[in-house]
C-alpha cells in the first residue's frame, strides 16, 4: 500500500530535549516536505527536499533541521524544542516537485513542548 509514514504520532516533551520525527514514503517519490499546522494559520511549509542530499527552507524553518540521505526518508529534527513549536506536523511527498502532481500526506505527528 502506497503511504507516507510518520513517527511518533503523538509526543509530549520538554523544552530543550532534542527530538526527531521520522518520515518515510514507499512510493519512490523525488519530493518530500514538512508542514506544520496551527489553528487559524493553515499549513505552513518548514523544509522541503527535491531529491537526495537536496533540501531547502520553506516559510518557517527556524528551530528545525532536516536531512535527506535516502530517497525514502526525510526526518525532521528539533535540536532544542520550545513551546512555540507545539503543533501538528505533516510530512508529504510527491512524484515530482513540478507542482503537476498531488501531494501524499502522512497522518500527522502531534507534538507538545512543555
Partner 1 sequence: SQQGEEDPQALSIQEGENATMNCSYKTSINNLQWYRQNSGRGLVHLILIRSNEREKHSGRLRVTLDTSKKSSSLLITASRAADTASYFCATGASDMRFGAGTRLTVKP
* Minimum CB distance to partner 1, residue 49 (Å): 9
Closest to 70 measured CA to CA, from 105, 23, 106: 23
- Non-local (6+) Cβ contacts of 91 within 8 A are 4, 6, 21, 23, 25, 32, 33, 34, 35, 74, 76, 105, 106
**DSSP alpha helices (H): ranges in 50-114?**
none
Q: Is 111 in the site for partner 1 (CB under 8 A)?
A: no
Q: Is 108 in the site for partner 1 (CB under 8 A)?
A: yes
Q: Is 45 in the site for partner 1 (CB under 8 A)?
A: yes
Which residues are registered as beta bridge partners of 2? none
Candidates 15, 82, 84, 98; binder of partner 1 (CB under 8 A) is 98
Candidates 34, 64, 74, 90; binder of partner 1 (CB under 8 A) is 90
Binding site for partner 1 (CB under 8 A): 4, 31, 33, 35, 40-45, 48, 50, 56, 58-59, 88, 90, 92, 97-100, 102-108, 110
Amino acid at each position: 500500500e502506497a503511504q507516507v509514514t510518520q513517527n511518533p504520532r503523538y509526543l509530549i516533551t520538554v523544552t530543550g530535549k532534542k527530538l526527531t520525527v521520522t518520515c518515510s514514503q514507499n512510493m519512490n517519490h523525488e519530493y518530500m516536505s514538512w508542514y506544520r499546522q496551527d489553528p487559524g494559520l493553515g499549513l505552513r511549509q518548514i523544509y522541503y527536499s527535491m531529491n537526495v542530499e537536496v533540501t531547502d527552507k520553506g516559510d518557517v524553518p527556524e528551530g528545525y533541521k532536516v536531512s535527506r540521505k535516502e530517497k525514502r526518508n526525510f526526518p525532521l529534527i528539533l535540536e532544542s524544542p520550545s513551546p512555540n513549536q507545539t503543533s501538528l506536523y505533516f510530512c508529504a511527498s510527491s512524484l515530482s516537485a513540478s507542482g503537476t502532481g498531488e501531494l501524499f500526506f502522512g497522518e500527522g505527528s502531534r507534538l507538545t513542548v512543555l
